[in-house]
Structures are given as C-alpha cells and as structure tokens.
Homo-oligomer: A and B are copies of this chain.
Amino acid sequence: MVKKMAVLSERQKLVLALLVRDYVETIEPISSGRLVKNYQLDFSSATVRNEMAVLEEKGFLSQPYTSAGRVPTRAGYRYYVRRLMGEDQLPAHIQEMIRHQFYQARHDVDDWLSLSASVLAQHSMGAAIVTQLHTEKARFKHIALLSTRGRQALVVIVLSSGEVHQQTLVLDETLSQEQLSGIASRINQLATGLDVKELKEKEPEQAGSLLKEIFEVVLNTLKGSEVISSGEVYRDGLANMLSEPEFSEPEKAKQTLEIFEDQVMLDDLLSRTVFGSDTPGVHVIIGGEDTWDQLEDTSLILASYGKKDHAMGAVGILGPLRMSYSRGVSTVRFVSDLISELISESMGS
C-alpha cells in the first residue's frame, strides 16, 4: 500500500522543514515572521504566510486558533521525516563514548541490552525499550534441571537459536540434584536437534509422570517460541519522557504509560513494523500511523538488531510527536548496529 503524497514546491518543503525544526525546539506555534527572521530567508513573511496557507490546506500544518502561529500535524511530521529530514550521523565523540560503555560490559550479553536501553534513554531524552525475541524456527538444543530449594526446581531450556527459556517448577516431591540431572540427560538424549513436530512423536507414553511433565514443558516452550513475542523487555528513561511538557496533561501521560507497560501492544507493534516489513533499517512510527489509536500522541523510532534471517530483537525509543527525529534515528541506528556487531562477533565464525 503506497500512499499518494502531495507534491510540494521546493520553497514549501523548506518552510515545512524549518517550521518542524523550530517547533521541536520551542514547543510554540511558529509564526511567519519568526521564520523569516530566525533563518534570514530571502523572501518576506507575507510569502511565507501564503505558503503556510497552502501547507495547511494540504494537511501538513494546523493552527491552534485563528491567527496564531502554525504547528505541524501528524501528516506534517511524517512528510518531514520521510522526505525532508537529513540523515545525520551521530557525532563521533558520542559514538566513541557509547562504544566505550559497551566494551566495559564485554562479558555479559544481558548487560548489553540493559545498557542499550540506558544509552538510548540518555541520548534521546525520551523513553527507551529494548527487547529480546526469537523468530527463527526453533529446535530443541539442551535442557538443564536444577534443584533449588525443597520441591522447587529450575528448568532451563536452550533452543537452537541460542535463545534461553526458563521456568521454576514446583514438583510433587523433593528430588536430589542427581535425580534431576538424570532426567535432564534422558531428555537431552531423546530430543536434541528436534523441532516441535518431531518432538511430539517422541513423547514418552507412560515413562514416569515427572519425565512426562517436563517433556510437556519443553513442548510448550517450543510451541510458544513460534509466535513472535518479546521475551524480557528492558525499559529506561521513563522519567525523561514524562518530563516532556506534552505529557503534563495526566490523560496523555497515562495513555503513553500504558503503552510502555503493555507487552501485547508492543509485540503487535514490532511484528507489524520492524519484523513485518522487508525493508531493513530504522522504522519511524508517528502518531500511530492511523493504525494504533492509543499511540495518537506518541512517536516511536524502532530498529531490529541481529542477523536478517534470525533477527534477535528490537531496540527503540518513544517520545512525544514533537521529538527530535533526526537525532533519534541516528541514535537508534547506531545502537542497533552496535549490538548487531557485538553479537555477531560473539557468535564466532
């Protein structure tokens, strides 16, 4: 589905671009005079007014009330991001700084993700989300059973993608670590390398209820992993986002917070954008794009990380419509590339 986009003259594009940039900084309706003065345009404010009127008619600008300055509409932001916004690189010294932080957490992959969230939050002045997830057709690789305390046991399942699932079980009776290890190695012998279908055939008929029970857990894990769903989600910078003036209205703040907390929404969003589309790179979702009503006043900048054929997760930031898109895009791109790089490096050749 390709949307028809109105054709704008060069000067109209210029006016729109300047207006968006200025508005993002000042959060105040921008007047024609201001634009001319601030950017030393070589045409007059009356001309700008005429162009603004056209831009308004095409739906890119709006006025809070008659004869106030203009404000970009959702469509205005979209046009700006897709056609007008230059693609800045993140300044070299900031790149260096971020790299440095990552190399310090060299040994723990989970740390990379939570660090990413923190870095994104910091550099975007907004809220950040980082997910783990799995899209590859899953095969069973390995299971470990660990006795923790009393009747509790921890089940850790590793899939061929490298993804790890775990779950605490409460058993019917207390079992020693040796007994659990025994069960685990039986399952490992039985199931290594199999996918869901193959696994189902091997299901033990009546081989002791516990073995069967744990087999069930494995099966469910594999089944569950066929759905695109983010596992653990790292969030950061909520406070940043809520200090944006647009969220001083409690209603909007609440709305946006619910998105931030709502895993289901997030999964839907990711599978329909970064993971659903075949164009790689950074995706910008502005005001819900007429698809997600709840996101009316929120924009997201998202990107996947990991290899194309088995993407491993997504990173992104979340902010008001009026956010610095160019800064955001370059930050998200840089971080997602960096994680991809670190991960592929750590996977050896």
Chain B residues, Cβ within 8 Å of A141: 147-148, 177
Residues in chain B near residue A150, CB distance under 8 A: 162, 346-348
Contacts of A347 in B (CB 8 A): 149-152
User: A44 near B: Cβ within 8 Å?
Assistant: no
Whether A242 pairs with B257 at a CB distance below 8 angstroms is yes
Provided the pairs A142-B147, A154-B156, A346-B150 are in contact, do residues A167 and B257 lie with their beta carbons within 8 angstroms? no
Residue A277 lies at the interface, judged by CB distance under 8 Å to chain B: no
B147 touches A158 (CB 8 A): yes
With CB as the reference atom, state the residue of chain B lying closest to A260.
Answer: B238
Taken together as a complex, chains A and B put the C-alpha atoms of A181 and B253 apart, in Å, by 50
Neighbouring B residues of A248 by C-beta, 8 Å: 248, 250
A110–chain B nearest beta-carbon distance, Å = 6
A107-125: CB near B (< 8 Å → 1, else 0) gives 1111000000000000000
Q: A334 in the interface, Cβ–Cβ < 8 Å?
A: no
Q: How far is the CA of A152 from the CA of B158 in the complex (A)?
A: 12
A164 and B146 contacting across the interface, CB-CB below 8 Å: yes
Pairwise interchain contact B152-A109, C-beta atoms closer than 8 A: yes
How many angstroms from the CA of A348 to the CA of B150 in the assembled complex?
A: 5
Residues from chain B with Cβ under 8 Å of A243 in the complex: 250, 254
A113 vs chain B, min Cβ distance (A): 10
Residue with the highest number of chain B CB atoms closer than 10 Å, among A164, A173, A247: A164
Partner pick for A346 among B142, B151, B154, B254, CB 8 A cutoff:
B151
Is residue A161 contacting chain B, with contact meaning CB distance below 8 A?
Answer: yes
* CB-based contact B154/A164 at 8 Å: yes
- In the assembly, what is the distance between CA of A174 and CA of B258, in Å? 42
Whether the Cβ atoms of B348 and A169 lie closer than 8 Å is no
CB of A261 within 8 A of chain B? yes
Residues of B within 8 A of A146 (CB): 142, 144, 156, 158, 164
A243 to B256, CA, bound (A): 12
Shortest C-beta distance, A225 to chain B (Å), equals 14
Cβ 8 A contact of A239, one of B161, B169, B261: B261
Per DSSP, chain A at the interface is: mixed
A297 at the interface (CB under 8 A from B): no
Q: How far is the CB of A218 from chain B (nearest CB, A)?
A: 14
A114 to chain B, nearest CB (A): 11
Is A170 in contact with chain B by the CB < 8 A criterion? yes
> From residue A159, how far is it (CB to closest CB) to chain B in Å?
9
Compute how far the CA of A300 lies from the CA of B102 in the bound complex, rounded to whole angstroms.
35
- Judge whether A168 is part of the interface by a CB distance below 8 angstroms: yes
Which residues in window 163-196 of A have CB below 8 A to B?
163-164, 167-170, 173-174, 177
Supposing A146-B144, A242-B250 touch, asked if A348 and B158 sit within 8 A by C-beta, the answer is: no
Contact A242 B236, beta carbon cutoff 8 Å: no
Within 232-248 of A, Cβ neighbours of B (below 8 Å) are at 236, 238-239, 242-243, 245, 247-248
6 pairs, CB–CB < 8 Å, chain A vs chain B? A107-B167, A141-B177, A146-B158, A149-B161, A238-B260, A242-B250
13 extra A-B contacts, CB within 8 A, seeds A109-B170, A146-B158, A239-B261 = A107-B170, A108-B167, A109-B168, A142-B147, A144-B144, A147-B158, A149-B347, A152-B347, A156-B156, A238-B261, A239-B257, A242-B250, A242-B253
